[in-house]
Structure 1
Amino acid sequence: MGMIDRMAAYMGFERRSDAADPSWGVLGSNTGYYAGLNARAAENLSSVLACVNVIGESLGYIPALVYRREGTARVEVPAHPLLKLVRYGVNDGMTWPDFVSHLVCSTLLTGNGLAEIIRNGNGQLAGLVYIPWGNVTVAELSSGRLAYDVGDGRGKVRRLLQGEVLHLRDRTDDGLIGRSRLSRAADAVTGVDLANRHARQFLANGASPSGVIKHPGAMTAEQRKNLREQFDARHAGAGNAGRALVLDGGLEWQQAQISPEDAELLSTRKFGTEEICRLFQVPPPLVQDYAHNTFTNSETAGRWFAMFCLSSWARKIEAEFARSVFPTGGPFELELDLSGFLRGDPATRWNAHAIALTNGVLDPDEVRQVEGWNPRKPRKGDAPAESEVNQTDD
């Protein structure tokens, strides 16, 4: 490193270069961990796909609000540039719900979700561009910060520095790169995949258990080979299911003793769905597993999902926006409003509103705001609002 580079590094500047950094190999590959299944293969499991989709799409659906802190109060800022992206899209090709869903799903499957922060000439937020994690190689610079080398799939690589990206990550082992849940629970996920493969192979063989062909005498190697090939050609596979088996020359068919029922294949696959739901903290009814569902627990599944799954991910997103998108130490903050999930049934919700009104915790217009309605227009004969009374007294 030359004198100029050393002085720049001392002052906090980082060199943007495509050359390999001395600490290039510190972080290893994109994840650095063994997983029985990669992200794309794991999505072949319907329970994995359903869990990832319901989390990502739910967070994309949640209203996003921007607040400015003024002392101990918070004031909503409807004209903030981020809300323009929420309304009209984070870039020309992607809406806000799609962006949040892509970012969260990538984090759930690989442990990391990455997006480039686009700013205009004044440094104001102008867009967000989702970057597939498979196109990214991470390096730790000598300053201790991260650099992200992003490939375009055509051999070109560009480097983004830590302040130019939004990096959402699942739980990490080194404080730098997230580790996917698929790799942490590789044995459980692989077990579910093996059960599915066994079921697929069973159906591909005509949903018939295997067996053995017995011969009273000795057979030559050539005879065994010909018999096996002829049998597979006429009776193996779903297309040959139900065909009559004709044996001569003293041959005898003996069915295998272990049937799919004895192996509890169906129960194993059902338990596999519960395993995956446990991995992603998703209530089974939300991925159409109603084996243990009742009217009582179905009413609370949405609230449970919001409290123990969505709320933690919403907080991660809010914290990452505060760290990467908004000015450091600034007054702005993002809030993903989960109140729609936490409202409960109408009777419970309105009883809570009545208690709040009776005890002066909320006024009618605040209740309307909670419900997503506009303030009520004053009608002739209505008493003046408290704020109007205070202004008159002043």
Structure 2
Amino acid sequence: MASFIGRLFGGGGRAAAPVQEASGPPERKTSRTAALFAVSEPGRPLWTPRDYQALAREGFQRNAVVHRCVRLVAEAAASVPLLLKAGRREFDTHPLLSLIARPSPREAGTAFLEAVYGHLLVAGNAYVEAVSLDGTPRELYALRPDRMQVVPGPDGWAAAYDYRAGHSAVRFRQEGEVPPILHLRLFHPADDHYGLSPMEAAAVALDIHNASAGWNKALLDNAARPSGALIYAGPDGANLTDAQFERLKVELEAQFQGAANAGRPLLLEGGLDWRQLSLTPAEMDFAEARASAMREIALAFGVPPLMLGLPGDSTYANYAEANRAFWRQTVLPLVRRTAQAMAHWLAPAYGGGLSLDPDLDSIEALAGEREALWRRITAADFLSADEKREAVGYGKGDRR
């Protein structure tokens, strides 16, 4: 049993069994606008409208703020334990919990979820492949978003997914009780099939921050001072000869360019005069523009700037308050929507009626809130024991 990636790159193991077709009802309801969604030829793959490689390279790989934001959100979300329930009943052990805890022989559950959340934040899309045997999911794999294409069906919704790596490709048809691909995407107001990455919303701030870093590097490489012009005032308007020009150019590059030559005085002779052309960093308000760009990037990812050590942020009184806001406003909504999608996708293989929810009691950043809730509920003498259990999230007779 192996995923498409394992088969494509020579991984051994047993191939997944063919996905069984689900017997649908004789009549199917559909939206009256469904035909309008089919804006392309049915069965034709639609390429993602953005450059994932550029987002990954310019954002996650080259920008420290983006890198930290993605790591912070993905690692926090992947660390949240999930509770499996069927109605009010909570399961301590279950095949679905075991599958999420160990999705494949090569990967632990935390690493798998971190990859899923990371793809979602960088690309706005995340794809999970379920490898089934006898109709039961046995392994889960996070697939790269840049290799996946949506294949719309006659009604415009995804009927299949094409995954390409090099010259090889495989088509995953969305059939069976558990379709082979789960597509997670962030909301995009102008695209029916692909999600919007936070990096795209912060593209201007990201470019400003990267450009400012490049400007700093170039400044050090060019004598750590703004550029200017050497003006030659020769007798009777004469110009430098070719030999003089080349000699001057070589001397400037050898003796005054680079960080090692920063601050070296410039000796001018023969009617040469230096005039500064560019603005100084203070005149450009360089530092404030760079700090503002960093705050905008953090805002797009939902990370309080205080948690990144960014200057000039006074939104939260202290780090603990910023951390609580980070978990409540960014991490938990992401975990809930992902857990709900995975439960809806995989539950039919186990009889249905299952739900996945984050275990709030295990989140250290929210311990103060939970403690305050427990105190208030304990002090409410007008509530019965069962009512108190329900108020803090436990059902009657539940055992933790």
Pick from 167, 171, 193: which aligns with 2:187?
171
> Tell me, what secondary structure is at the counterpart of 1:325?
helix
Pick from 333, 337, 362: which aligns with 2:359?
337
The Cα of 1:213 is off from its aligned counterpart by 1.6
Show the 5 A alignment for 1:47-66: 47-66=65-84
One-letter identity of the residue aligned with 1:23:
P
TM-score (norm. length: structure 1): 0.77
Pick from 92, 115, 119: which aligns with 1:78?
92
Judge conservation of contact 2:344–2:355 (CA < 8 Å) in 1. no
Pick from 239, 251, 265: which aligns with 1:219?
239
Inter-CA distance 49–11: structure 2 relative to 1 (3 Å threshold): farther
Using the alignment, how far apart are the partners of 2:360 and 2:311 within structure 1? 25
- Partner residue, 1:275: 296
Using the alignment, how far apart are the partners of 2:43 and 2:214 within structure 1? 39
The Cα of 1:63 is off from its aligned counterpart by 0.8
Judge conservation of contact 2:232–2:240 (CA < 8 Å) in 1. no
Show the 5 A alignment for 1:314-353: 314-327=335-348, 330-341=352-363, 344=366, 346=368, 349-353=370-374
Please state if 1:68 is matched with 2:86. Answer: yes
Inter-CA distance 35–152: structure 2 relative to 1 (3 Å threshold): closer
Inter-CA distance 349–66: structure 2 relative to 1 (3 Å threshold): closer
Inter-CA distance 34–129: structure 2 relative to 1 (3 Å threshold): closer
- Partner residue, 2:378: 357
> Tell me, what secondary structure is at the counterpart of 1:258?
coil
The Cα of 1:309 is off from its aligned counterpart by 1.1
One-letter identity of the residue aligned with 2:286:
L
One-letter identity of the residue aligned with 1:164:
P
Pick from 322, 335, 339: which aligns with 1:301?
322
> Tell me, what secondary structure is at the counterpart of 1:42?
helix
Using the alignment, how far apart are the partners of 1:95 and 1:279 within structure 2? 29
Pick from 254, 264, 271: which aligns with 1:250?
271
TM-score (norm. length: structure 2): 0.76
Using the alignment, how far apart are the partners of 1:167 and 1:206 within structure 2? 51
Greater displacement, 206-215 / 353-362: 353-362
- Partner residue, 1:392: none
Please state if 1:203 is matched with 2:216. Answer: no
> Tell me, what secondary structure is at the counterpart of 2:279?
coil
- Partner residue, 1:374: none
Pick from 124, 129, 133: which aligns with 2:136?
124
The Cα of 1:11 is off from its aligned counterpart by 8.0
Judge conservation of contact 1:135–1:151 (CA < 8 Å) in 2. yes
Using the alignment, how far apart are the partners of 2:92 and 2:70 within structure 1? 31
Using the alignment, how far apart are the partners of 1:171 and 1:221 within structure 2? 63
The Cα of 1:93 is off from its aligned counterpart by 1.6
Please state if 1:106 is matched with 2:106. Answer: no
The Cα of 1:51 is off from its aligned counterpart by 1.0
The Cα of 1:276 is off from its aligned counterpart by 0.2
Judge conservation of contact 1:103–1:130 (CA < 8 Å) in 2. yes
**What CA deviation, in whole Å up to 9, does each residue of 1:89-136 have, x standing for no partner?**
211122111111111111111111111012222x22212111111222
Inter-CA distance 129–351: structure 2 relative to 1 (3 Å threshold): closer
The Cα of 1:157 is off from its aligned counterpart by 0.8
> Tell me, what secondary structure is at the counterpart of 2:141?
strand
Gaps of 5+ in 2: 1-22, 28-39
One-letter identity of the residue aligned with 1:322:
A
One-letter identity of the residue aligned with 1:210:
S
The Cα of 1:150 is off from its aligned counterpart by 1.2
Using the alignment, how far apart are the partners of 2:171 and 2:195 within structure 1? 20
Query: What is the alpha-carbon root mean square deviation over aligned residues?
Result: 3.3
Judge conservation of contact 2:223–2:258 (CA < 8 Å) in 1. yes
One-letter identity of the residue aligned with 2:70:
V
Gaps of 5+ in 1: 1-7, 13-20, 371-385, 388-394
- Partner residue, 1:156: 168
One-letter identity of the residue aligned with 2:239:
M
Judge conservation of contact 1:36–1:186 (CA < 8 Å) in 2. no
Inter-CA distance 345–315: structure 2 relative to 1 (3 Å threshold): closer
Judge conservation of contact 1:51–1:277 (CA < 8 Å) in 2. yes
Judge conservation of contact 1:118–1:126 (CA < 8 Å) in 2. yes
- Identity over the aligned pairs, expressed in percent? 25
Inter-CA distance 220–338: structure 2 relative to 1 (3 Å threshold): farther
